[in-house]
Amino acid sequence: MHALIVIDVQNDFCPGGALAVPGGDEIVQGINALMVECDAVVLTQDWHPAGHSSFASTHEGKGPYEVVEMPYGPQVLWPDHCIQGSPGAAFHMELEADRADLIIRKGFRAGIDSYSAFFENDHTTPTGLEGYLRTRGIDRLTMVGLATDFCVNFSAVDAARLGFQVEVHEQLCRAIDLDGSLAAARAGMQSAGVKLV
Ligand code: VGL
Ligand code: ZN
């Protein structure tokens, strides 16, 4: 069984949003078209409380894209984005979200970020997605969405390590690309056994 995992196609990651990924809106129609080819469709939704610890505004004297040391390791600081219930946290208007079997929200704990759809950034706290997929008999994942070098990357690497067969459709992803993060992400995904197509 084959699932499409659509990562964070939300207004704040699209042009005009708080953490806009260049061309983030260009992938929506292609993702809609892929939905009909898969046995299951899962959407992830970045879903932060106001004052989240990944927001630069929460850290006195820090600005967006600076890195701080958190108890679970280094954390990039972001502009405030995807605040629970805000228009920026909503899915892109043209994404066919009604086709989703499951919507998995992540990043909802104030003190820890969650790039991956499977584990929070401590690489230990599960989101529950693994159990959902396994109990549905899903062994093959196609991943698309935003951003290639952060949430797609972390999700794909975790999925491969968990034993899923993983493909990332790069044409249906867009990257933030901070300091070579896209090249590093591509190399990391490939060495984890993720197929880039
Ligand atoms: C993401 C940064 C912060 C992503 C989420 O979806 O890639 N990036 N929160
Ligand atoms: Zn976030």
User: Is any ligand 1 atom within 6 A of the Cβ of residue 147?
Assistant: yes
Is 8 in the active site?
yes
Tell me if residue 106 is catalytic: yes
- Strand 195-196 versus strand 165-174 pairing type: parallel
> In order along the chain (197 residues), what is the average pLDDT of each group of 10 residues?
98 98 98 98 98 98 97 97 98 98 98 98 97 98 98 98 98 96 98 98
* Catalytic residue check, 151: yes
Distance of alpha carbon 84 from alpha carbon 96, whole angstroms: 20
Among the atoms of ligand 1, which is closest to the Cα of residue 107?
Answer: 9
Write down the pLDDT at residue 188.
98
Options 25, 151, 158, 173, the catalytic residue:
151
User: Pocket of ligand 1, candidates 67, 81, 86: which has the most ligand atoms within 8 Å of its Cβ, to mutate?
Assistant: 81
Answer yes or no: is the C-beta of 173 below 6 A from any ligand 1 atom: no
List, in sequence order, every residue forming a beta bridge with 93; answer none if it has no partner.
none
Q: Which of 12, 80, 82, 106 is catalytic?
A: 106
The string of DSSP codes covering 110-127 is TT----SSSB-TTS-SB-
Contact 128, 105 (CB under 8 A): no
- In sequence order, the β-bridge partners of residue 174 are 146
Q: Is the CB of 80 under 6 A from ligand 1?
A: no
Model-wide pTM > 0.75: yes
Ligand 1 pocket member 8 (CB < 6 A): yes
Q: Report the Cα 169 to chain-centroid distance in Å.
A: 14
